[in-house]
Amino acid sequence: MAAIVERFAPSPNGALHLGHAFSALTAWDAAQKKKGRFLVRIEDLDRQRCRPELEAAMLEDLRWLGLNWEEPVLRQSERFEAYTDALASLEQRGLLYPCFCSRKDIDAALSAPQEGAGAADNGPDGPAYPGVCRNLSEPERANRKASGAKFALRLDMRKAIAALGGGGVVAKLSFKEIGQGPNGEKGRINLSPEQLVERCGDIALARKDFPTSYHLAVTLDDAHQGVTIVTRGEDLFGATPIHRLLQALLGRPTPHYRHHRLIRDDLGRRLAKRDKDKALAALRAEGISPEQLREQLSL
């Protein structure tokens, strides 16, 4: 059987904390157990917030934890061409449209009375996009572009589902959850076309400020690196159906997914960059050892 390929994919926009350590160690331990491969991918799409010194500090923390990985690491900032090519192919198939909305426009449209049933639950990027720019005419789009207005590119979710053969076919798409979703979801998880339309909606695949979105980049990169198991926090479980749909649209393989519990602070909030005392650098400075840290994480 081919070796498993695990990955840890941090964004160098702050310091690694206990939650990151849990994720990285879970993936690394799994790779060791199966004599598989372990990769690190630097998710540095956001050129404003991601900084080389933060990347160096992250890699230093990971080494201290006892991890090693294949060199060179892959950086998303070096992969813009691959993202642009995939966008061009989706655009040619008529599955994307430009969205000129600002955050304020979207909030205003969302707060207007909605037709039909009440607002669906939030999707992985917040409430589903209300569709304002989906219905712009071609001349209107051309005018706005000509005036220099910046735009994002959104996936027309209904058209994407139709392009794959319709809701019935999409409902047969699935992924294998070898960890657990936030509500105990495990095993074979089927895509729900209704959920894709109502919860996720027309997700952005390229943003106004950079030429891809997390969803597109992560899907393409996991395929490019031959990742067979995606280990990550259960907060991303809701994004996985989008990644599965993109794999189908772009002809990429589907890895298995291991979503894991989140590490929380004393108030039960998931750790974030604000929890400076839970940063690995702070814990290291206090003199904690990697073994003690593993114990603290029940690993």
Cβ-proximal residues to 196 (8 Å cutoff; 6+ apart), any chain:
157, 161, 170, 241, 242, 245
Q: Which is nearer to ligand GLU, 101 or 191 (CB)?
A: 191
Q: How far is the CB of 181 from ligand GLU (least distance, A)?
A: 14
Q: How far is the CB of 111 from ligand GLU (least distance, A)?
A: 29
Would you mind telling me the total number of residues written for the chain in this entry?
Answer: 299
Q: How far is the CB of 277 from ligand GLU (least distance, A)?
A: 20
Whether 264 and 286 have beta carbons less than 8 Å apart is answered as: no
Distance CA 95, CA 147 (A): 24
Cβ-proximal residues to 129 (8 Å cutoff; 6+ apart), any chain:
99, 101, 106, 154, 201, 202, 203, 204
Q: Which is nearer to ligand GLU, 95 or 240 (CB)?
A: 240
Distance CA 234, CA 236 (A): 5
In this structure, what token pair is assigned to residue 28? 């690394």
Q: How far is the CB of 162 from ligand GLU (least distance, A)?
A: 27
Q: Which is nearer to ligand GLU, 17 or 154 (CB)?
A: 17
Q: How far is the CB of 136 from ligand GLU (least distance, A)?
A: 32
Q: Which is nearer to ligand GLU, 101 or 204 (CB)?
A: 204
Q: Which is nearer to ligand GLU, 76 or 154 (CB)?
A: 76
**Contact positions toward ligand GLU, by CB under 6 A?**
9-11, 43, 218, 232, 236
Reference 210, options 32, 43, 8, 40; nearest CA is: 43
